[in-house]
Chain A
Amino acid sequence: DSGVTQTPKHLITATGQRVTLRCSPRSGDLSVYWYQQSLDQGLQFLIQYYNGEERAKGNILERFSAQQFPDLHSELNLSSLELGDSALYFCASNSGGRSSYNEQFFGPGTRLTVL
């Protein structure tokens, strides 16, 4: 158990809908990272938050957004969903800041299926 929790584990929805994925980092970690794993694109970095502020952006679509709350949990919002958004979404955490180079600890993932 990495100490990173993600909810829900599975999510099935329809095209055009909006969903929210939730992540709680390990105790004491300030940085949260979101990743998408799809069959055709592999594992891709989406976005990083550090202590409530956006720190780095990867291949995140404009239809997707994220935020990190004062209690350090993070939410990834996916809107106007398309079939191609079906994927496994991972959250990871580490201490962040100057220690961003430290290892990342991954949650169990949320499997999103868009029908």
Chain B
Amino acid sequence: GIQVEQSPPDLILQEGANSTLRCNFSDSVNNLQWFHQNPWGQLINLFYIPSGTKQNGRLSATTVATERYSLLYISSSQTTDSGVYFCAVGVTTSGTYKYIFGTGTRLKVLA
């Protein structure tokens, strides 16, 4: 089945720094979402981005579907950005549609 790999697995930043998180997928996908899981476990939608580029405040994302990767950019990081960032891809296999999550990037932003 499709493989979804995220890098780096762990990231420590000083407050104010910028970072780029990457999501690689091994096959064509129907869609892609980025999530932030906060320290309380809640999954927060960041972007629904099957292709192209989107921006929301300090966050932006780019998906290049033909090259099978997506990037999440975090600028001027804040301590509240800490948590785990997941990408999830939607794929259709044998006529059924399902979401496959990557293993996540654990981000810690230091004050």
Contacts and interface: CB of A to CB of B under 8 A. Distances in A.
Interface in A48-97: 48, 55-58, 88, 90
A90 to B, nearest CB: 6
Interface string B84-107: 001010100000111111011000
Specify the main secondary structure of chain A where it touches its partner. Answer: strand
Interface size of A as a range = 20 to 34
Given A90-B43, A101-B30, A44 B97 contact: no
Interface of A: 2, 33, 35, 42-45, 48, 55-58, 88, 90, 100-106, 108-109, 111
B73 interface: no
Given A42-B104, A102-B31, A104-B33, A2 B97 contact: no
B90 A33 contact: no
Contacts of A57: 96
25 contacts: A2-B45, A35-B101, A42-B104, A44-B101, A45-B98, A45-B99, A45-B101, A48-B97, A55-B96, A55-B97, A56-B96, A56-B97, A56-B98, A57-B96, A101-B31, A102-B48, A104-B99, A105-B45, A106-B35, A106-B42, A106-B43, A106-B45, A108-B41, A108-B42, A109-B42
A2 B31 CA distance: 19
Contacts of A101: 30-31, 50, 90, 97
Contacts of A108: 41-42
B103 A42 contact: yes
Contact of A109 (B31, B43, B98): B43
Max chain B Cβ within 10 angstroms of own Cβ: one of A35, A58, A106: A106
Interface size of B as a range = 20 to 34
Max chain A Cβ within 10 angstroms of own Cβ: one of B48, B90, B98, B104: B98
A109 B44 CA distance: 12
Contacts of A2: 45
Contacts of B45: 2, 103, 105-106
